[in-house]
Amino acid sequence: MKTKLFLIITLGISIAACSDEATNYEAGTASTYEAPSPEAYSEEKKNYCADTDDKNSCSCQFDVMDPILTAAIGSDWSTKSMEEKDFPIYVKAVEKAVEQCP
């Protein structure tokens, strides 16, 4: 019985939280990303985004992923080959970037 009650409460909180996020997004209160001008990009970001058509989206993704990957892998994450042991960290970083970037 306690397990069912816990699941119902958790589900209710999740639905309420998702509903609030959707309302904020629809009301235009969701935060937006404002990309810096390409001249302000670091060399790492310039190299990372060199082959992309959408520089603003790439810039946002880099800005979200850089602190995560730098802390876990090192500041040279964008130039070195991904190792298998680092794959979960890259997945986490990409998921965060997808959540936050247009």
Residue 5: pLDDT over 70: no
Rounded Cα–Cα distance for residues 53 and 58 (Å): 9
**Domain locations along the chain:** 1-30, 34-102
Task: Give 7's pLDDT tier (boundaries 50, 70, 90).
Answer: very low
Please, which residues have CB within 8 angstroms of residue 57's CB and are 6 or more apart in sequence?
Answer: 101, 102
**What would the pLDDT profile of 11-60 be if each residue is shown by its tens digit?**
446 565 555 555 555 555 555 555 555 556 678 888 888 888 888 888 89
User: Against a cut of 0.85, is the pTM above it?
Assistant: no
Q: What is the pLDDT of residue 24?
A: 52
Closest C-alpha to 45, from 17, 14, 70? 70
